[in-house]
Amino acid sequence: MLVQFCQMKEFISPIGFDGDEREYSINSSERWLSIDEYMQKKFWGGSDTSVWDMKKFDAKLPAASLLDVMLRAAGSLEDNFKQTATEYNEAKVKRAAVSFKDTGSHTTNDLLDVITPACVEDAGGVTPAATDDFIFTHSLATVLVCVPKGGEKEFESWYEGDIEKEKVIPQSHKRINVKADKDGVTLYRVVIYNAEGKELDNFKKSCRDNKYIVRDYPYSKDWFAASVAEREQANANFVLEHIRLLEVALSSYSDLFGIWVHLKLLRAGIECTLRNGISEGPRSNFEAFFVVPEASKLAKARADLAQILGTDADRRMDSGADEEEFFPYVSLTLAPLTTSK
C-alpha cells in the first residue's frame, strides 16, 4: 500500500524460494536486495536524499514524458526477454531432436549409447566386408530391426519375405553384438539391395505390418563421431541458453519492478497534486511511504491512518452514505508477489 503522509511500518519477513536466491530480488546499486529490503529504502519521494532514479527517470521532465520513458523502457525489456526466450526454445527443440529419454528399451533408447564403435564389427576397408555389421554402398543398405524376446527363429525364417519386391539379400541377417534390453529385445541387421531406392521402404513397411520395429541408424565411424558431437553441442547450447534465460529473467524482473515502483510514485504525486494543489516554495509538502499492514488488520490500519492524517471534514466525508470508499490520503495498491503473506 502506497500512502501519502505516514510513517514507515514494519514489513513482512523475506519469503524463501527454492532455486536461485535472486528469484524475486532487485538489483540496486550493484547489490541484490530482497523485495522487502528494496521497498524499505528511506526517502522514496520528496527528500533531498531521495532514491528516485534520476539517471533513468529525470524528475525534471513533464509527467507525460516520464510516463513515455517508463513505457519505452518496459517495452524494451519485454522485447529482449521474448528474444531470449525464443532462442532458448530453439535450443530446447534442437536438444530434444538429438536426445532420447533412457527407457531401457532398444525400441526407444538413443542407440548412440547402445551401438558404439567398441561393439560394432567393422573391417575398416575401402569396401565393406560381408562380416561388417553395417553395410552401406550405392546399391546396398542396412536395416536395423528390433526382434522381441523368443522371436529370433521366427524372424530369421520370415525376413527374406518377398525377395523380388523387397530385394532382401539372402542370409544377410546378423545379430548386433549388444545385450538384449530389459524386455529381452535384440537387434538384428538385414542388408537390402536398394538400387531403385524403394526396396528399403518396402522392407520397412513389411516389418511394420508384421509388428517389427525398425530403427534408423546409418552407422559409420564418421557418422557416429559427428552424431555424438552434435548431441553434445546441442546439450551444451541448451544449458547455456537456459542460464542466459535465467539471467535475463532476473535482471528483467528487477528492472521492471523498479519501473513499476517509480510509476506508482509518479501516479501518487499526480493524484496528490490534483487533490491538494501545488505547494509554494522549493520543497513539496508531499511525502510517499510504503506501508505493509497484516492482511487481517488492514481495516484497523486504514482507520488509524484516517485518524492520524484526516481532518474533521475528511472524517465526515468518510462516514457519509456514499458507497465509494474515501481516504484522507492518496492510497495505491502494490502487490509484488501474490504469495506474500
Q: What is the pLDDT of residue 95?
A: 92
| Residue 46 within a domain | yes
Q: What is the pLDDT of residue 16?
A: 33
In this prediction the pTM is 0.69
160 in the same domain as 82: no
> CA 249, CA 108: separation in Å to the nearest integer?
35
| Residue 100 within a domain | no
Average pLDDT over residues 267-276: 85
CB contact set of 119 (below 8 Å; sequence gap of 6+):
176, 177, 178
| Domain count of the fold of the chain | 2
In DSSP terms, which residues pair with 142 in a beta bridge?
191
162 in the same domain as 83: no
Q: What is the pLDDT of residue 271?
A: 87
248 in the same domain as 207: no
Of the candidates 88, 89, 80, the residue with the CA atom closest to the CA atom of residue 248: 80
> CA 315, CA 338: separation in Å to the nearest integer?
32
| Residue 101 within a domain | no
Encode pLDDT of 204-242 as tens digits: 999 999 999 999 999 999 999 999 999 999 999 999 999
Residues in the chain: 341
Of these ranges, 36-50, 84-98, 188-202, the one predicted with the greatest mean pLDDT is 84-98
Of the candidates 131, 213, 214, 117, the residue with the CA atom closest to the CA atom of residue 172: 131
| Residue 264 within a domain | yes
Of the candidates 75, 12, 3, the residue with the CA atom closest to the CA atom of residue 40: 12
Domain, as residue range, for 10: 2-90+240-332
- Domain at 164, CATH number: 3.30.70.100
**Other C-beta atoms lying within 10 Å of the C-beta of residue 240:** 13
255 in the same domain as 207: no
Average pLDDT over residues 237-265: 92
Of the candidates 296, 294, 291, 281, the residue with the CA atom closest to the CA atom of residue 327: 291
* Confidence band, pLDDT 50/70/90 cuts, at residue 19: very low
CB contact set of 289 (below 8 Å; sequence gap of 6+):
2, 3, 4, 6, 7, 8, 44
- Domain at 264, CATH number: 1.20.1460
- pLDDT of 321 > 60? The answer is no
Encode pLDDT of 277-290 as tens digits: 776 655 566 777 77
| Residue 22 within a domain | yes
